[in-house]
Structure 1
Amino acid sequence: MVATPIGNLGDITERALAVLSQADVIAAEDTRVTGQLLKHFGISTPMISVREHNERAMAEKIIARLAAGDTVAQVSDAGTPAVSDPGAVLAAAVHAAGFQVIPVPGASALTSALSASGFSCAHSLFYGFLPPKSKQRRDELAKLSQLPYLTVFYEAPHRIAECVADMAAVFGDEREAVLARELTKTFETIRRAPLAELAQWIANDSNQQRGEAVIVVNAAAPAEKAEGSSYDSLLTPLVAELPLKQAVALAQAISGAPRNALYERALALKKAE
């Protein structure tokens, strides 16, 4: 599984060049795209096409070649195979057949965007591509909106403007995010701003609606403390009808507030009855 450059050809590794040169065949997502890469580096290894629509069928042929002693190098058009690209089906089939799957790491839009984001968070979620329709996209974003870690998305150029607008609507205008567009290429753009500002900037500049994009959204802020009577309207009926622990658990599930703060307030309400 050989990672190839996501833009700048200088990012290819010596190991990747050696593997591509020495393999018996290269399984490429698009032989025309990979052909340009091989031509640039003077590599003449033959190629076969392994794309999303034929990956299962081609896996059988590749396993037959492995059984005959061949070495097969799998590549996608850019970046690492199987990361929002074909490759996982083939790798699973090779594992199941008892052959070795070896990663040859390299350039990654995901890690490049994270490293340049400036966000300090111990945890991150790589979501990949959101649904293409706004309703389904917003539904998915709603599930992610309160997660306490960075969320990373890939997006196609023709959807980037409406996608970031939907993020602003669901995550909130002030949630900070980074747009990393055309990474390692001539017109690379990395901009960090609140989502509303980022959405407006993209909408106003058609240049930002070109090329592949990575969006890194900052983690949700911790839920506000339940202090004083902030949650009395929620807790009062629950405390009246349920055991204290059950009432607090239900209130936490509904509000997302810290359990300890809810418990202290529920206890005070119970004593006041």
Structure 2
Amino acid sequence: MVMTTRVGDMGRSEHRMRIGEFARLGQVSIRMLRHYEALDLLIPQHVDRFSGHRSYSVAQLTRLNRIMALSSLGISLKRISVLLDSEPSTSELVDMLTLRRHQLQTEQEVAAASLAEIEFRLALIERTTMKFPDCVIKELPAERIIGTTVLLGEPPFDTSEIGPLFGKVAGQIIAAGGDLDVGVGLYSDSEAGTEVTCGYRMNSADGNGLNTTGPTSTELDTIELPPCTAATLIHEGSMSRIGASWQHLSEWCLNQGYSLNGPCREIYLEEDDGDGSDWVVELQQPITR
């Protein structure tokens, strides 16, 4: 760090740093500091009259941080100049920034939902050119699913709570002494909209697919799935495009003369731990002739 020291009129040492070092500490550009100076928002503590080199004091970082905080709120630099003269308190700045954070979080959630809807619709439009794996008819055994059910309402669905809900269910099952197997999503239609159950298959010692010694938490539901015939398909990739896979599977069933019967199921064979593009999910649609 380039620092200079001089003794003030009252004998107090004052430490100064060059503009580049001050810009680095304040996380702003030198160009921005010169702009603030031109607007009289932040004047260097010292300007060498021969070289023109500007230097700032450590104490000026407080004013710079306040300028940056107010600027992040979308306040004009002219208005910031007036606010700084009135010296807003730290608590006032914190309240303003907290409010802005909530606003940005809301905007981010709205943007994420819109992006997911675009991805979903794009996948449906491109579905005719997408390569799908073969649909396979399977005889599914009876199963017991431990989980919890939420109402998604009418499409397009807001699925932002689904991921965290699986984590919450897993924690409750483990806390109650249960042993997790793969995650399962059950989707069924009701008069109020689509209901989804986020749960897990339970491991069982006798191998019959039912765990009779699982958790008994009243916060969790136990869903008994009867044996059935189902059309299945393996979806690989982003969950934002799983809707196209479901449409393909449903159309295949109808074209083969089957009727869709009962809640459809998603079996999460491999969960993505990265950017959300590496899921492996078996889609199971119960059917009848």
TM bin, normalised by shorter chain, reads: under 0.3
More helix by share: 1
The structure that has the greater radius of gyration is: 2
- TM-score, normalising length from structure 2? 0.21
Q: Going by fraction, where is strand more abundant, 1 or 2?
A: 2
